[in-house]
Structure 1
């Protein structure tokens, strides 16, 4: 069921499943997505990661979209088992609990999800060190604010980015006012924009939107208001170099590559594992010319120190 493809390109697929490669390989991997690959955000990052597994690690790969409830997860895993899949990525926290319910039934498959809490011999949950990236975003925002008021809009209560943002801002300036709100969903664009309006009415001039379903819309709205933002997930400097001070970039593709390589060499750890700046899984994006060069240099030095020691400023 694997269709040959010498050149892999990201295409919009409406079907629930699609095969990406048939190049001969010792191992086969699959990607499960709650939604589709064409969201230009988290799901697209997962698909990009899968392509790196194929091109860099040499594994056969396939993916399934719209695997959005427990029954679909179970049925899809059963199908993939019959196709000889050995490594399954569930691209998000949603899959962690569902994988925990079925992993013991599939001892020859290793299950990988993100941001969940798992345990078992053949299951891994990957965590990006969101606190640290939020921390440095907060330091920069605190330094750059002209109103002494900044804000963070998170998608989920459990996201450590928001807590890190507040801490980084406060460590930079005792007097900074930090507005911290949650919209309870990745795709709550309307709620996020209402929250943005509330924050700017309270004089927030820099906002960090930590939801891949609304971050672009928030940045564009801040641009309309002639205010500034911190990009999220990818480097959003292309949305406006005067608006986007920098971005906290999650290199999902590098993590997929690392996980697949570890699986292939028998070194993949089970349980909860973390990736951060020191693993090159997170970085700061391009700095706006609005950010003074001396502060850019200071922030880069602080991040390098954190990579070497694990100590925040």
Structure 2
């Protein structure tokens, strides 16, 4: 095992896949000479050259379209959108081409395309740079959507995404790039489907993804000191969601708490609650509960920004309420 930062794990995955397959290339704004806004492609331009690590203009729909077209012809592009907020500009290519071409071609054309998008609320970047778009991508048939909560999964999920024949949106979090964690020295791949039990428990299940996994783990530590054993589940793959894995945890604990950084309406939490009601309703001892952001544009003001976003305190309070304590 080697301890590395989240961005270093992403860099390592890039490097290995570029070295392995000449049909893998990376595109995006400032990913080449500058090494990426979050250093996740640093050094790759010098190593692989401008034809494999391509600096693009500020033209998200255009270079996403180039990547999608290249994927249809057999390449395996990794397209980075500098901020998930700007992915709106690339949605036509992503939704109408990447996600649909396999179906519309009767299975004759694949689109092994990866879009990397940093997102989330990252310390006073304002409403237009603090989007959480997981639920948008989840609503598009034909895409896979994954979101790593640890350096280990940042490496393993990117490796699996590049090798997948399906289009994959990989959502990172801007506040986690300097997060440290252990990553195995040998090559490995994290499945693009399935949940991971981050902490076993018996009293309630806390479902989380991305940065909210860390709030859930912090809350579980605090709850354990009061004799409450929470099971923390990293959803990790948001499309498709692991129905069986979610239901299995609910059958074990009989209570469900879903934690997300996004606003609640039409969100990941709402979808998880729907699956629980469909697959494990009669296992529940209480109605599922959500912890989520306020339904407002994220403020720039530091105090207001903190007030809009949930944290471990909110998870602890919701867990106790769910347990009637």
Normalising by structure 2, what TM-score? Answer: 0.28
Give me the TM-score of the superposition, normalised by structure 1: 0.29
